[in-house]
């Protein structure tokens, strides 16, 4: 099977990688950019998919942006106990997973030459599934529960803006 055509990170010295490092540094998550073909520690799906271990997000040039956003948002959205023991499987329940997806769309424009539309298209291309048939339809019409969860966890302010803090509980 051929991997879908989605936006990928690119070189460690490139502008995308720099913007990803800056984004996740705000959350205390270190982005570790490994050489091409290196195994990614903490990768749940393997291959080029981003990996999580402790307070590190592992990526390569070919890591899909949606993957690193998704895994990074898991780190942000999980509770303190899971974050302290994090190794590969982020866990979480259904509503947290929805929050992770929603936050990833909100954060996508912070990556150089990427945006929410690109994130939503990449989610569809990769096979994320939503009740309304597409990531965009979910985000625009069916994600009130995800927004509310992010707000109650202190990840969005009362206007729906990102607070750049990890969930603490």
pLDDT tens string 86-120? 999 999 999 999 999 999 999 999 999 999 999 99
Domain span including residue 108: 94-152
Q: pLDDT value at position 130?
A: 85
Residue 10 belongs to some domain of the structure: no
Number of compact structural domains in the chain: 2
| Cβ-count burial 62-77 (b if 16+ within 10 Å, e if not) | ebbbbbbbbbbbbbbb
Compute CA 49 distance to the chain's CA centroid, rounded to the nearest angstrom.
Answer: 11
Residues of the chain with pLDDT under 50: 1
Are 26 and 78 members of one domain? yes
Judge whether 82 and 90 are in contact, CB under 8 Å. Answer: yes
Are 72 and 131 members of one domain? no
Report the alpha-carbon distance of residue 27 to residue 44 in Å, rounded.
21
Report the alpha-carbon distance of residue 126 to residue 141 in Å, rounded.
21
Residue 169 belongs to some domain of the structure: no
């Amino acid at each position: 099977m051929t991997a879908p055509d989605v936006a990928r990170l690119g070189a460690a010295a490139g502008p995308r990688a720099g913007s990803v490092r800056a984004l996740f540094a705000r959350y205390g998550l270190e982005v570790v950019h490994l050489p091409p073909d290196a195994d990614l520690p903490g990768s749940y799906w393997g291959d080029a998919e981003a990996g999580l271990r402790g307070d590190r997000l592992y990526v390569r040039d070919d890591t899909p942006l949606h993957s690193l956003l998704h895994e990074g948002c898991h780190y942000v959205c999980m509770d303190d106990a899971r974050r302290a023991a994090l190794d590969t499987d982020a866990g979480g329940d259904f509503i947290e997973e929805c929050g992770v997806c929603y936050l990833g769309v909100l954060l996508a424009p912070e990556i150089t030459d990427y945006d929410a539309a690109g994130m939503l298209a990449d989610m569809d291309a990769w096979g994320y599934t939503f009740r309304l048939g597409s990531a965009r339809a979910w985000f625009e019409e069916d994600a009130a529960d995800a927004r509310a969860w992010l707000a109650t966890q202190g990840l969005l302010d009362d206007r729906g803006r990102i607070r750049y803090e990890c969930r603490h509980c």
